A and B are shown apart, each in its own frame.
Chain A
């Protein structure tokens, strides 16, 4: 993307210059290491555990399983970012998708796979419309989408939390959760922890890549990201585009929620979806690549590996796994400050 050149950076930008992301990761590793050292643990051992926990052959399925929702949320964040927009409401959109996917199979009769398909589609549409509401808030009511998308997230989370505690609560258990989705409507298991959701997200990733590189819509979106005013003069209907883009972004977020419900939890459980903060990690990954889908997917995979490794680190050493969130944010901060990551056209 057309980040304005850093002063004095042009002369240095030679072939020998290491990629910024690598420097950022190194930098984060050093600061994180210092933090671990200060808390009285061995940073090398902690990092070794992260590495082993994420990438050892036996642990790869876990990493992929963690990457499924994270890369999904990365795509949801990357699409608007490609056009210079930021969707901060991924949490609410994911929750709406998850709730729709948990409720539809309970009330819709029919053969399992059809019900599952209906649940997935319903989740995508519901969440997509909710996200489009944020775009509508900007175009129609002048509320910046950055703010409206985030603020809309809270009511969605609150209402979903209410719904699973009261009207839709599974009264046979004492927990705030909906009844189990019938077995036929669950996503098929591939092997171990992996289910069809992985393939679904992979397919969406391919579609996003294709649309971004090979279609008019993708071109128009990139044009908007580079210069929104120019895109407008060039005939792109910016308001309609914002609504479409946000619908697509929200729909993917909703699918992620649906995949978690239909693939691994089989019911909507309050709070469980938001604790891993897929939304924010996904947004970080997308920002890391300035919304360019291929780079964002790679960054999403990297963060997924980091977080999966974090579990192993916490298990084997005394270092808490939230360290990985710290590492992630240092990476993005370093890139934002030093290399204008996510810098949008003025």
Chain B
């Protein structure tokens, strides 16, 4: 066991958690206002591509991050307006958005850079790592955070910030009200649609950061479909965490550890085709176990939304 938890393993775990964590925070926000956001995968991909484009043209990582946020927010307009003002089915819109992201990034990759598959260029500046040499000596957690990008730190700060805002401020109360009892919120003079649109757009910026971390964090490369299911894992984290930022973060840690474990197993000689599936298996197992712990009636509203007969608009919260 002692050989299993190494500084390298912890570092790769924390690194793997960052994009999933940022995306799941976005998912939490959307779920709280009653929009089931399944488009995290596509938003992340758009963010990752825009980050590379921004970094390529501005020769700075900050430019890349800014481009990622802007692009992801613009992309989120589809969900923000489609699921609210136009009353489309959020699930269908999200499926369409994921496919659009896949097609659009692949198209632009070919048209803008003339390559297909992966794109790397010396002009792309990756995110610098913040080094805390003191942390390097603290086992486990210190190992994990000694050398990470600013976005990793931002992600964890956002966990605290989102929790505070949701549960300790009037704004948070209104947001939760919009999700749980839209009619009541409307009666109190809260513009439900405006809150939903704004929340989806803000959460889009979060997913943009997730994408930037993905393409500029570890390696400065864009690969087609490089989000590779991370957005879906974030969706599951939101579900497992019952739309609570802290619980969702805990779920993300679980996936990160599974991911790091798969890297470890690979270094032990197991084929990566087998080790790559470990996050998904862990996810499924976690879903099964978490269900055992509570009755079906207690399922969070976003789960109810996803089940047959579910609705694009939130159901009254039964909790």
Contacts and interface: CB of A to CB of B under 8 A. Distances in A.
Contacts of A165: 271, 273
Contact of B306 (A4, A144, A284, A346): A144
Contacts of B173: none
Contacts of A84: 308-309
B24 to A, nearest CB: 14
A275 B92 CA distance: 22
A343 B95 contact: no
Interface stretch (B53-61, B106-114, B122-130, B195-203): B106-114
A320 B291 contact: no
A142 B303 CA distance: 9
Given A35-B107, A145-B308, A344-B309, A325 B239 contact: no
A320 B91 contact: no
A107 B280 CA distance: 31
A40 B114 CA distance: 13
A159 B87 contact: no
Mostly, the B contact residues are helix
Nearest to A238: B308
A219 to B, nearest CB: 17
A156 B34 CA distance: 33
Interface string A325-346: 1101110110011101111111
B281 A333 contact: no
A85 interface: yes
Contacts of B280: 151, 154-155
Interface string A302-342: 00000000000000000010111110111011001110111
B91 A146 contact: yes
B274 interface: yes
Interface string A79-120: 000011110100000000000000000000000000000000
A152 interface: yes
B232 A142 contact: no
Contacts of A237: none
Contacts of B2: none
Q: Which of B107, B229, B288 has the most CB of A within 10 A?
A: B107
B259 interface: no
B89 A340 contact: yes
A6 interface: yes
B45 to A, nearest CB: 13
B288 A143 contact: yes
Interface in B217-267: 229, 232, 235-236, 239
Interface stretch (B96-104, B156-164, B177-185): B96-104
Contacts of B102: 277, 280, 325
Contacts of B232: 147, 150-151
Given A146-B306, A151-B284, 16 more contacts: A142-B299, A143-B288, A146-B38, A148-B287, A154-B276, A155-B281, A165-B273, A325-B99, A328-B103, A332-B96, A333-B97, A337-B82, A337-B93, A338-B86, A340-B89, A344-B308
Interface of B: 38, 78, 81-82, 86-89, 91-93, 95-97, 99-100, 102-104, 106-107, 110-112, 116, 229, 232, 235-236, 239, 271, 273-274, 276-277, 280-281, 283-284, 287-288, 291-292, 296, 299, 303, 306-313, 315
21 contacts: A4-B87, A39-B111, A137-B287, A143-B284, A144-B303, A144-B307, A147-B306, A154-B276, A155-B281, A229-B309, A280-B102, A284-B96, A287-B92, A325-B107, A336-B92, A338-B86, A343-B312, A344-B308, A344-B310, A344-B312, A346-B311
